[in-house]
Amino acid sequence: MARFYKEAQLMAAMRHPNVISLLGFCVKPPALVTEYCARGSLTDVLREAACDPEKAARLTWQLRIHMALDAAKGMLALHSHSPVVLHRDLKGPNLLVDFSWRVKVTDFGLSKIVEEGLSMQSTQSPVNPRWLAPEILAGARATTASDVFSYGVILYELLTWTVPWGGADFWEIVSALTRGERLPIPDRPSLPGPDTLRFAGLAGYIVLMQRCWAHEPAQRPGFEEIVQCLRRLLEEAPA
């Protein structure tokens, strides 16, 4: 119950168009009441598009970058909060998409508020390492840079419409990440999307994604820079 109240307090403090809004909560049974996002999670949207040509035709690069931008703005709101809020479980299933295709960051069950001067070790249990930064898998403390790494994997989801690391098991993923390996990037003709062959900003998008999942946390951009990069890429997306 203490964790439940803490999550409710955190959600109530966050008011941003790209962060899920808390409408209320119930104690018996414990439940959070949030705004409704009709399209489900980002992972749901991409999985459906990969299986349905009609839904695939909607996911132009204009829309994909808008969704990436929404997620980045939501994370920027968390990281700009005073004190800073780390998500620590950022992944496609924790990004919800409303009827208007706006993306909202959700699920703060693992989030932590970082007080100034506090050295916080990650207590996150890496039950699913697909989106986790290598330093987290090695037991280092969670930081804004580890959230950025997870965001880089989300950019990969938007690029390929696939689940990161496919059928690899837990230890295969952990071993690959700690060795510095990253997800394979298909060539342009192999990538999904109705306008991928015409997207002039594809190379820039991939560079941004790779910067986000740089092995050294200090080499990763912050979300303010990510937002600026995505806005520039939006101008290169086919109309």
Tens of pLDDT, residue by residue over 197-207, are 999 999 999 99
Q: Is the pLDDT of residue 30 over 90?
A: no
Annotated active-site residue 44? The verdict is no
pLDDT at position 112 over 70:
no
Read off the pTM. 0.91
Rg (CA), the chain: 18
Structural domain spans, the chain: 37-236
Mean pLDDT, to the nearest integer, of 18-34?
A: 88
Within 10 angstroms of residue 184's Cβ, the number of other Cβ atoms is: 9
Measured from the Cβ of residue 211, the count of other Cβ atoms closer than 10 Å reads 17
Active-site option among 89, 98, 107, 147? 89
User: The domain 37-236: what is its CATH number?
Assistant: 1.10.510.10
Could you tell me what percent of the chain has a pLDDT over 70? 92
Torsion angle defined by CA atoms of residues 59, 61, 67 and 73, in that order, rounded to the nearest 10 degrees: 180
Write the pLDDT tens digit of every residue in 35-86. 999 999 999 999 999 999 999 999 999 999 999 999 999 999 999 998 888 9
